[in-house]
């Protein structure tokens, strides 16, 4: 019998364990519909139902529950095999999955120093917007942006950010922005996941009615601000070089704290852990002493 797709089997195992398609989707970082589609595909290939609905739960049928247990066992064997391979591969690269925004705006000016240091030897750097799977993707280290580090991974806080308004020098010359409330009438560029209400709430001000373009990508909204399209609520880590180069102007000294931060994450049982710790120590030293107090790897 031909084996079904691996992701479909992962979807079955997660859905059976959680008794929920939604919880399985959250664990696998996909949509509810994607899990449902994979389950239907498995049912078609295997020739029978796998789940029955009971209230808000999806209950695996007995045969499906046994199959999910076997899949979990197989995933554990696969994970062990990957770790054995990594530990036996002499001088194997350290695979680092990097959030693209960190990779484009923060890392390039530091790459020469990193690669010249033993901690940066033999790195395989990959810029990935999605959260990498530390088992199936073979990733050793993740440099990620989020509200919190994943609870099931060792982690080190790299740095937090502040949010403040920026725009092009030309627009700054036309707009009289001297206090936070002056932004109420300014042309604001909106971000899908970082609303202006965070800024205005920090100063006890109401958020203006939405108008103008909305962007999902932080780098795109920074470029739109540099082109004079409006005022962007900028993340401090992403606009440093544009401010230094004069492409952007910081309109006000006031800032609000961003509730997201950059973390380095890894599996504590990774056989390359000594090299991972060396990379962590280099990054923390490069950034400065402040983040070093926020470590969660228990080592």
Tokens 């806080």 identify what position? 157
Higher pLDDT, 10 or 290: 10
Q: Is the pLDDT of residue 278 over 80?
A: yes
Residue that the structure tokens 């899908």 belong to: 192
Q: What's the CATH number for 6-88?
A: 1.10.10.10
Reference 97, options 136, 29, 144; nearest CA is: 144
**Alpha-helical regions (H) of the chain:** 6-18, 21-28, 32-46, 62-88, 100-105, 108-116, 169-174, 197-201, 218-226, 236-245, 273-287
In CATH, 94-160+260-293 is 3.40.190.10: yes
Annotated domain spans of the chain: 6-88, 94-160+260-293, 161-259
Phi, psi of 126 (to 5 degrees): -130, 125
CA distance 27 to 16: 13
> Could you tell me the sign of the dihedral formed by the alpha carbons of 81, 87, 90, 92, in that order?
positive
Question: Is 161-259 in the same CATH topology as 94-160+260-293?
Answer: yes
* Residue 298 reports pLDDT greater than 50: no
In angstroms, the Cα distances linking 212 to 23, 215, 232, 265 are: 36, 10, 12, 37
Provide the residue count of the chain. 299
Torsions phi, psi for 152 (to 5 deg): -90, 5
Tokens standing for residue 67: 């199959």
Question: In the chain, pLDDT over 70 holds for what percent of residues?
Answer: 92
- pLDDT tens for residues 20-78? 999 999 988 889 999 999 999 999 988 889 999 999 899 999 999 999 999 999 888 88
Where does residue 67 fall: left (phi above 0), alpha (psi -120 to 50 degrees), or beta otherwise? alpha
Does domain 161-259 bear CATH number 3.40.190.10? yes
Gap between the Cα atoms of 53 and 216, Å rounded: 36
The 8-class DSSP code of residue 256 comes to: E
Task: Give the integer Cα–Cα distance in Å for 123 and 126.
Answer: 10
Provide the token pair at 211. 């108008």
Would the pLDDT of 297 be above 80?
Answer: no
Q: Which residues contact 1 (CB under 8 A, 6 or more apart)?
A: none
The whole-number pLDDT of residue 213 equals 79
| pTM check: above 0.75 | no
Mean pLDDT of 242-252: 92
Tokens coding 192: 């899908």
List residues bridging with 143 in a β-sheet. 98, 264
């Amino acid at each position: 019998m031909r084996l079904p797709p691996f992701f479909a089997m992962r979807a079955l195992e997660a859905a059976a364990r959680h008794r929920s398609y939604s919880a399985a989707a959250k664990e696998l970082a996909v949509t509810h519909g994607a899990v449902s589609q994979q389950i239907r595909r498995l049912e078609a290939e295997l020739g029978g139902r796998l789940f029955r609905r009971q209230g808000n739960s999806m209950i695996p049928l007995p045969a499906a529950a046994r199959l999910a247990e076997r899949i979990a066992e197989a995933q554990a064997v696969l994970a062990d095999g990957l770790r054995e391979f990594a530990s036996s591969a002499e001088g194997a690269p350290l695979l680092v999955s990097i959030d693209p925004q960190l990779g484009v705006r923060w890392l390039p000016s530091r790459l020469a120093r990193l690669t010249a240091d033993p901690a940066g030897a033999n790195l395989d750097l990959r810029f990935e917007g999605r959260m990498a799977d530390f088992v199936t993707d073979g990733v050793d280290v993740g440099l990620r942006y989020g509200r919190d580090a994943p609870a099931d991974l060792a982690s080190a806080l790299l740095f937090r950010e502040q949010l403040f308004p920026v725009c092009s020098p030309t627009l700054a010359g036309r707009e009289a922005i001297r206090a936070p409330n002056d932004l109420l009438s300014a042309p604001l560029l909106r971000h899908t996941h970082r609303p202006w209400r965070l800024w205005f709430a920090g100063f006890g001000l109401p958020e203006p009615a939405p108008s103008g373009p909305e962007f999902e990508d932080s780098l795109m909204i920074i470029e739109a601000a540099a082109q004079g399209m409006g005022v962007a609520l900028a993340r401090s880590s992403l606009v440093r070089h544009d401010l230094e180069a004069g492409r952007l102007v910081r309109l006000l000294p006031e800032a609000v704290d961003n509730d997201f931060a950059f973390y380095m994450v890894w599996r504590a049982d990774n056989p390359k852990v000594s090299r991972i710790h060396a990379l962590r120590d280099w990054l923390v030293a490069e950034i400065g002493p402040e983040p070093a107090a926020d470590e969660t790897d228990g080592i």
